[in-house]
């Protein structure tokens, strides 16, 4: 029974990984769609994120190692550019672009830690940058203001969405705690530059 | 599918930004009076150019000058730069000067100018540029901000926001 469950779990993770890489779905949406595609009972236990993460890395390594590396590089360049522009708000990059599993479908997620929560939005207003305000759940489950803007990425020849999550300065304290897989969940511009100078294999494995 | 999502998201942006910002924008983008001594301070300031050369404003005095505060990540600024460039080309023979002050990171400006070279001089104002534009009557430091200085070195006209052909035509008549 357990062996059966494991194999279903792995199969779901593999299908979901394909959806993440090829269609840019988020993990939760990809898992739900995988359940549907495999015709499983809606109450089937879903694979956890580390499992899906491993499946995503495997999928990339098998099907698109070169294009993914180029896409990732381009997105990290865009992220660095915006981190420089928003340097006053202590930007920290997270998500797939930080962890190295991003493809051209991925959005850029970064946390801003501001003294004045309104200042980031005012900076966008003052630069007449068009953005879309919203709210997301932060890592403690609290509502966090999210500002989404669209930026042109010439290297990819397409638009890329940048999501800015606006936190209080105090939130920075818990922000760098390692996650369940022992990885740093996000990093600032300097950390990103360090990451980009490493060889691709090291990037895949990624520091604790 | 992803592209759709990006497009759909941004179609609502104009409306959302408008609804959220219109009231705020109305007072934020009204020029304030020019601070006392701001003009004098302006004429003795120096900036670094894209190639590291010095842009010394003292030598610019005595001729009409259009100063444009801009940044590479301010879409309307980027849109109006070709127009300002055309203005400079047409009016430079008549004595007009144009200065672009980039309130941005120098490396970003250098990359930008490689893609879109400008005929008029550009100075790297950095973050201090925001304060300078505030002193010159731009209350929040919003971009783009354009100041027209006359032969006497005083501010003749200012505009917060994107300039239009009509603005430029009007300014050309001022001096």
Q: What is the pLDDT of residues B128-171, one digit of tens each?
A: 888 888 888 888 888 899 999 988 888 888 898 899 999 999 88
Residues on chain B touching A130 (C-beta within 8 angstroms): 10, 13-14, 17, 75
Subunit contact A81:B17, Cβ cutoff 8 A: no
Residue B146, strand partner residues: B68, B159
Answer whether residue A1 shows pLDDT above 70. no
Kind of pairing between the strands at B97-102 and B122-124: parallel
Chain A: give the shortest CA distance to residue B152, in Å. 30
CA distances from A101 to A65, A67, A69, A204, B130 (A): 10, 12, 9, 8, 38
User: Best mutation site among A127, A129, A158, A193 for testing chain B: the one with the most B CBs within 10 Å?
Assistant: A127
Backbone φ and ψ for B122, nearest 5 degrees, come out as: -125, 140
CA distances from A81 to A98, B107, B113 (A): 14, 10, 16
Mean pLDDT over B45-68 rounds to 89
Element (H, E) at B86: helix B75-91
Mean pLDDT over B63-72 rounds to 92
Q: What was the pLDDT predicted at B25?
A: 55
Q: What was the pLDDT predicted at A140?
A: 80
ipTM for the predicted complex comes to: 0.73
Q: What was the pLDDT predicted at A187?
A: 93
Chain A: give the shortest CA distance to residue B148, in Å. 20
**Whether B13 contacts chain A with CB within 8 A:** yes
Q: What was the pLDDT predicted at B11?
A: 60
User: Best mutation site among A29, A89, A126, A148 for testing chain B: the one with the most B CBs within 10 Å?
Assistant: A126
Residue B14 — pLDDT band, cuts 50, 70, 90?
low
Q: What is the residue-averaged pLDDT of chain B?
A: 83
Q: What is the residue-averaged pLDDT of chain A?
A: 89
The answer to which of A168-172, A199-203, B14-18, B47-51 has the lowest mean pLDDT is A199-203
Distance CA B131, CA B129 (A): 5
Q: Name the closest residue on chain B to residue A151, using Cα atoms.
A: B73
Q: What was the pLDDT predicted at A46?
A: 92
Subunit contact A133:B20, Cβ cutoff 8 A: yes
* Contact between residue A176 and residue A167 where contact means Cβ atoms under 8 Å apart: no
pTM of the predicted structure, to 2 decimals: 0.80
Residues on chain A touching B161 (C-beta within 8 angstroms): 128
Option in B107, B141, B143 nearest A128 (CB):
B143
Answer whether residue A203 shows pLDDT above 50. no
Percentage of chain B modeled with pLDDT above 90: 35
Mean pLDDT over B2-20 rounds to 58
Q: What was the pLDDT predicted at B138?
A: 86
Distance CA A52, CA A199 (A): 23
Subunit contact A128:B74, Cβ cutoff 8 A: yes
Residues on chain A touching B21 (C-beta within 8 angstroms): 125
Mean pLDDT over A188-204 rounds to 77
Chain B: give the shortest CA distance to residue A140, in Å. 27
Mean pLDDT over A150-170 rounds to 93
Residue A36 — pLDDT band, cuts 50, 70, 90?
very high
Residues on chain B touching A131 (C-beta within 8 angstroms): 13, 17
Residue A150, strand partner residues: A161
Subunit contact A84:B105, Cβ cutoff 8 A: yes
Residue B8 — pLDDT band, cuts 50, 70, 90?
low
Q: What was the pLDDT predicted at B1?
A: 46
Answer whether residue A207 shows pLDDT above 50. no
Option in A23, A85, A132 nearest B13 (CB):
A132
C-alpha atoms less than 13 angstroms from C-alpha of B27 in its C-beta half-sphere: 2
Answer whether residue B111 shows pLDDT above 60. yes
Subunit contact B142:A125, Cβ cutoff 8 A: yes
Q: What is the pLDDT of residues A39-65, one digit of tens each?
A: 998 888 999 999 999 999 999 999 999
Mean pLDDT over A124-129 rounds to 91
**Whether A152 contacts chain B with CB within 8 A:** no
**Whether B105 contacts chain A with CB within 8 A:** yes
Mean pLDDT over B20-33 rounds to 60
Answer whether residue A151 shows pLDDT above 70. yes
Q: What is the pLDDT of residues A57-92, one digit of tens each?
A: 999 999 999 999 999 999 999 999 999 999 999 999
Subunit contact A127:B108, Cβ cutoff 8 A: no
């Amino acid at each position: 029974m357990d062996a059966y469950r494991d194999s279903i779990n792995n199969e779901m993770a593999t299908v979901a990984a394909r959806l993440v890489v090829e269609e840019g779905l988020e993990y939760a949406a990809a898992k739900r769609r995988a359940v549907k595609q495999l015709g499983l009972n809606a109450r089937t236990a879903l694979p956890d994120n580390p499992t899906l993460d491993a499946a995503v890395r495997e999928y990339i390594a098998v099907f698109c190692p070169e294009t993914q590396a180029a896409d990732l590089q381009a997105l990290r360049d865009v992220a660095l550019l915006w981190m420089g522009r928003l340097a006053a708000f202590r930007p920290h990059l997270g998500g797939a672009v930080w962890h190295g599993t991003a493809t051209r479908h991925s959005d850029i997620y970064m946390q801003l830690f501001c003294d004045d929560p309104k200042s980031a939005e005012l900076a966008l207003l003052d630069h007449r940058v068009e953005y879309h305000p919203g709210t997301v759940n932060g890592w403690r489950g609290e509502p966090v203001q999210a500002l989404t803007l669209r930026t042109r990425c010439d290297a990819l020849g397409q638009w890329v969405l940048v999501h800015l999550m606006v936190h209080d300065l105090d939130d920075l304290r818990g922000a760098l705690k390692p996650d369940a897989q022992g990885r740093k969940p996000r990093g600032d511009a300097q950390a990103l530059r360090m990451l980009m100078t490493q060889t691709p294999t090291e990037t895949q494995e990624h520091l604790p | 599918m992803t592209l759709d999502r990006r497009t759909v998201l941004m179609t609502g942006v104009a409306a959302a930004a408008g609804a959220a910002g219109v009231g705020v924008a109305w007072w934020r983008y009204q020029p304030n009076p020019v601070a006392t001594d701001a003009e004098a301070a302006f004429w003795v300031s120096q900036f670094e150019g894209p190639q590291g050369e010095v842009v010394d404003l003292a030598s610019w005095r005595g001729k009409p000058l259009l100063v444009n505060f801009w940044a590479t990540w301010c879409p309307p600024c980027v849109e109006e730069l070709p127009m300002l460039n055309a203005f400079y080309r047409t009016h430079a023979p008549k004595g007009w000067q144009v200065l672009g002050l980039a309130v941005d990171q120098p490396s970003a400006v250098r990359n930008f100018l490689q893609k879109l070279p400008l005929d008029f001089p550009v100075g790297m104002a950095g973050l201090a540029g925001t304060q300078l534009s505030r002193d010159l009557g731009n209350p929040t430091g919003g971009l783009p901000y354009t100041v027209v200085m006359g032969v006497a070195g005083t501010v003749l006209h200012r505009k917060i926001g994107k300039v239009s052909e009509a603005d430029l035509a009007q300014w050309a008549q001022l001096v």
